[in-house]
Structure 1
Amino acid sequence: MNIITHQLIDNELCGKPVMVENGKSQVEYTTTSRMAADESGLVHGGFIFGLADYAAMLAVNHPNVVLGGADVKFLKPVKAGESVHALASVESVSGKKQMVSVTVSRGEEVVFKGDFACFVLEKHVLG
């Protein structure tokens, strides 16, 4: 795994990469009580989106990749303490734009699906 993007990501908040290779990635984490939105332990969707977004960035794996947009569906709730993993795959490349499909699962159960429009810029977005 030679990761060359998003190198300062907090793995507790966005997940730990377990595979990055040739337009694909897998990222996983165990949700925590800090991610809960209410007393029931419902994990705020932003944390699931963050996991999926990070997996998409790793699938592209370029120092200047940024997210341009996403079409996502939250399919099942996630509770604090549950482990989830994201699988991402680059589906198409057209110039600077790469479309990445991401699925987040809890075990075998899919909880989130998304298509991420990622752009590889000539220089860093803040440069």
Structure 2
Amino acid sequence: MAKNKMSLAQEALDKIPSFEDETESVEELLNDGTFLNDELKTHQKIKTTFSGSLVELKKNKAKVILQTTHEMSVDEFGLIHSGFIFGAAEYAAIAAVNEENIVIIGCKSKFFAPAKVGDLIVLEAQGRFEEARKREIKVVGFINEIKVFEGLFHAIILENHILKTKIDELQASMQGKDFS
């Protein structure tokens, strides 16, 4: 009896090596207590469940590991929505710069391969132009040794939080006006 498309696709997915096939388990990597989120000057309230965990932080460098889960999938095959990969890459980019009021203002990115539930994605970020307010950060993501993502992020460092800046500008423009 001929196999249907769904069973053929599932067989193909099952043949792709996942992180669990490696000797070091996901739990060992993600629960070893070496997360550096506390050392960040920004994004202190980020949800690492969906954005990944910061495992390396150096000057102009960061590494984020994203463990993909069923909550990130879009179908019965376990395909991961690319927005989660992008979010983890953006997190790696801001961590590499590690400035309090950093804002990503643009990105050019490419996705090279899909991710599925259970994959462990390692995103490595390298920042440039460390003395300027505008920064460029290259982020590359891998599942095992397969490149799945590459992005060039552009960021700017502000004097104040971006939302506070907008409020201050609004308040300044309203001072002296009589609204009664």
Taking structure 2 as the reference length, the TM-score comes to 0.68
1:40-119 superposed matches below 5 A: 40-93=77-130, 95-119=132-156
1:19 matched to 2:92? The reply is: no
Query: After TM superposition, what 4+ stretches of structure 1 lie above 4 angstroms from structure 2?
Result: none
Structure 1 segments unaligned to the other structure (5+ residues): none
Identity %: 38
Q: Deviations over 1:50-72 (max 9, x none)?
A: 00000000001011001100000
- State the SS of the aligned residue for 1:13: helix
Asked if structure 1 preserves the Cα contact closer than 8 Å seen for 2:127 and 2:137, the reply is yes
Q: Considering only CA atoms, is the larger Rg found in Structure 1 or Structure 2?
A: 2
Query: CA-to-partner distance for each residue in 1:50-98, whole Å, 9 max, x for gaps?
Result: 0000000000101100110000000000001111110000033473210
**Residue correspondences, number:** 127
Greater per-residue helix proportion: 2
Aligned to 1:29: 66
**Mind listing any 5+ residue stretches in structure 2 that lack a counterpart?**
1-35, 165-180
Between Structure 1 and Structure 2, the one with more strand by share is 1
